[in-house]
Each structure stands twice: as C-alpha cells, then as structure tokens.
Amino acid sequence: MAQDTQVPVKPSWYLLGPAFVAAIAYVDPGNVAANVSAGAKFGYLLVWVIIAANVMAGLVQYLSAKLGLVTGRSLPETVGAHSRTPTRIAYWLQAELVAMATDLAEVVGGAIALHLIFRLPLLLGGLITGLVSMALLVIGDRRGPRIFEQVTSGLLAIIAIGFLASLVVAPPPPTAVAEGLLPRFDGTESVLLATAILGATVMPHAVYLHSGLSRDRHGQPEPGPVRRRLLRVTRWDVGLAMLVAGTVNLAMLVVAATNLRGHDTSGSIEGAHTAVGDALGPTVALFFAIGLLASGLASTSVGAYAGAMIMQGLLRVTVPLLWRRVVTLVPALVILAVGVDPSRALVISQVVLSFGIPFALVPLIRLTSDRALMGADANRPLTSALGWTVTAVISLLNMVLLYLTFG
C-alpha cells in the first residue's frame, strides 16, 4: 500500500535494501549453471556477455523501482490496470511459466548443493530447499519487508564469499580475462549459453518484483525533494547491488574457465565442484557448495514472493505465499524425481527466462516513458532509447538462437 513518506529522516544508507533483494535473482543457481557451462566450454569467451547483461539489468531494475515509487503500484498491477481481462489472463500465463522456470532453477540448485555437502539424494534435497524457503517466507510475511531484506542480504553476502573464495586463492590470468571483453561467439552452443546468461541476469520476475519492493519500502512520495532523494538513493541501491551481483557472476565464469577447461565434466555444477576441489583444495570446494546452497535458498524465496505479487497484480487475486511456494515447487520436484540431468535443466530454464524478458521490458519501458503516468519523472528520450535497445538486443539474440537450433 502507498505510504506517507513526506519527511524521511532516516540516513540514506538505511533506505538501501530493495535492490539487494532483487539482486538475489541475479545470482541464483541458474546463473551458476549458465556461467559454469560457459566457462568450462568456452573459457573466457563470454566474459563480455556477463558485463553487458549486468549493465542491462542495472538500467531495467532502476526503471522498475522508479515505476513503483512514482505510481505506488507494482509493474503487474500497472499492466493489469491498463489491460482488458483476456489480455491480463494471457499475460499472467506467460509470467506464471517464467515463475515456474525460475523455481526450477532455484530448487534444483539447492538440491545439488545439499547433495555436494551432505550427499543427500536430489529429491530429498529439493524438498528441504522448498521447506527452508517456506520458513524464510514466513519470516518475511510476519516480520515485514525490512527483516526479509536483512535475511536475503545476509544470504547474498554468503553467496559472494562462497564464489569469490577461489579467486582469492588462485587469481585468473588478467590478460585472458581482458580478451573475453571482445564481443564474439563461437557456434550455436555459445549463443545458447549467452542467451542463458542473459535470461539468468535480466530476470523477468525480478523486473516485476522490484517495483513492488520499492513501493512497499518507500511508499508513494509526492513530487518534490522527498521523491528526488528516494530516486537518488534508489540509483545507489541498484548500482551497489548490481556491482555485487556482477562480481559474483563474473567469478563463477572465471572459476570455471580457470579450473574446468579441459576436464571431462560437461560443464556441470558437480564437475565444477570436483575440479575446484582438485585444483584448490576441499575447503574452497566447500565454500563453492555453501555459496550454491545459499543461492538456492534465497532465490527460491524471492521467486515465490515475486510469483505472488504477479498473480495479485494481474489476476487481482491474493494467494498466500505458502500456497504459491507449493504450486511452483511441484515442477522442480518432478524434474528431480524423473532423473533429468540437473545442470542441463538449469541452463534450459534460463533460456526459457530469456524468452520471457521482452514481456516484462516492453510494458516497463512504455509505462515509465508515459508522461501522463509518471509526470516529470518520465524517462528522458535517451533512457527510453537505451531501454528499447536492451529489449531489441535480447529479442534478436533469442531469434538467432531459434534459427541456429532449428533452422
């Protein structure tokens, strides 16, 4: 609900937080699978994709947060308010597919982590991941958004430590990493992985979610100094969160490129864990697995939160978070039960997410460019042009992928 925030007396650092919750989506197990596969198969070739995806995500997340602050509505609510019933239902169906693909990646990733640490069966690990995420959702539901931000930010710190530890022990060759900044591909598989990296970074559910997080945290301030200050703080919030997420994503790819290239592991997460252990020792491998576990637990909670917000905004139906958790958990458990290769399932789930990105970005850019809706805070022409460019690049990459795969 919109809140009166006319006199925010709290220091700027206290107002940070929503972007760090959304940033959990950028370092989920789907990112791990996509980045590890890219590093293992192509070395440092796709470093530039990580950087580009991170810059794109920063712009998109700021626009989403701005929409929530200025309008007092989440992106799904705003889309729902401007759409007829058949359109809202169709839009919700594609968003629900995205939510299920998101949950698939997160639950499977948590199951893999528990298998690596405790040797638990994957199905049992998936159930445990789902139960722990339910507990995190209960905490957020009962204690409020600030506590949920603190818990998820703490998990983000664990994720960062887990994946950056190996770089501290064995730094990669700077020249090789720098060469990866040159944009290029190497066949269909590299395009597939680039699309997966984009889908894992510019996450559709995070785009929907961030608008609601900002609204819930800061309310709908009136135009003037208060709103300008909150928008300025939001830019810092997004920038810092994306710096953390981008560094972690780059670390994943670089670790795989340094330690997995040439190993017969097919770029799997399990193979990455084994190779890191062989090259850098069991302690660093344990950090890797703990980072993956924190990633799964945090991201699946955030994903369920986003799914509930999407359903409420588009269908105007309020569903308890725990029921949302159960609904999106089932497909992931089915995947684990039937024995599909988990790492491959993670990569494919990120490709599905990539195809959902335009459905989130097109209305976001249109709405934030609408001066009647946003007033003086509507996008400037350059901002809108950059937003449309991001949408076009991702859509084009998806079409190229379809042509190379089925043409």
In 62-107, the DSSP E strands lie at none
Candidates 279, 363, 314; CA nearest to 93 is: 314
**Count of beta carbons in the 10 Å neighbourhood of residue 172:** 20
Percentages (nearest 5) of helix, strand, coil residues in the chain = 80, 0, 20
- Supply the pLDDT for residue 12: 65
DSSP state string for 34-61: HHHHHHHHHTTTTHHHHHHHHHHHHHHH
Which CATH number do you get for residue 385? 1.20.1740.10
Q: Is residue 8 assigned to a domain?
A: no
Burial of 86 (0-12, 13-18, 19+ CB in 10 A): exposed
- Supply the pLDDT for residue 133: 87
Q: Could you give the angle at which helices 381-406 and 188-201 cross, rounded to 10 degrees? A: 140
Burial of 366 (0-12, 13-18, 19+ CB in 10 A): middle
- What is d(CA 301, CA 102) in angstroms, rounded to the nearest whole number? 11
Q: Residue type for 274, please?
A: T
**Count of beta carbons in the 10 Å neighbourhood of residue 3:** 13
- What is d(CA 324, CA 317) in angstroms, rounded to the nearest whole number? 12
Cβ(364)–Cβ(91) under 8 Å?
Answer: no
Listed in sequence order, the residues at least 6 apart from 148 whose beta carbon sits closer than 8 Å to its beta carbon are 21, 136, 139, 140, 305
What backbone phi and psi angles, to 5 degrees, belong to 96? -65, -40
Q: Is residue 2 assigned to a domain?
A: no
Q: Is residue 4 assigned to a domain?
A: no
Listed in sequence order, the residues at least 6 apart from 128 whose beta carbon sits closer than 8 Å to its beta carbon are 110, 111, 114, 120
- What is d(CA 45, CA 49) in angstroms, rounded to the nearest whole number? 9
Q: Is residue 3 assigned to a domain?
A: no
Q: Is residue 6 assigned to a domain?
A: no
DSSP state string for 359-403: HHHHHHHHHHT-HHHHGGGSPPHHHHHHHHHHHHHHHHHHHHHHH
- What is d(CA 309, CA 204) in angstroms, rounded to the nearest whole number? 13
Listed in sequence order, the residues at least 6 apart from 48 whose beta carbon sits closer than 8 Å to its beta carbon are 180, 181, 182, 183, 184
Listed in sequence order, the residues at least 6 apart from 237 whose beta carbon sits closer than 8 Å to its beta carbon are 15, 16, 17, 18, 19, 20, 65
- What is d(CA 63, CA 55) in angstroms, rounded to the nearest whole number? 13
Q: Which helix (H) or strand (E) holds 288?
A: helix 282-315
Which domain range does residue 228 map to? Answer: 16-406
pTM of the model: 0.90
- What is d(CA 291, CA 252) in angstroms, rounded to the nearest whole number? 11
| pLDDT per residue as tens, the chain (407 positions) | 444 444 445 666 667 789 999 999 889 888 888 898 899 889 999 999 999 999 999 999 999 999 999 999 999 999 999 899 899 999 999 988 888 888 888 899 999 999 999 999 999 999 999 999 888 888 877 877 778 888 888 999 999 999 999 888 889 999 999 999 999 999 888 988 888 788 778 888 899 999 999 998 888 899 999 999 999 999 999 999 999 999 999 999 998 898 877 665 555 788 888 888 888 899 999 999 999 999 999 998 888 888 889 999 999 888 777 777 787 788 889 988 988 888 777 767 767 777 888 899 999 999 999 999 999 999 999 999 999 999 998 888 877 776 766 65
- What is d(CA 251, CA 254) in angstroms, rounded to the nearest whole number? 5
Q: Is residue 9 assigned to a domain?
A: no
Tokens 């022990």, residue? 169
Q: Give the total number of structural domains in the chain.
A: 1
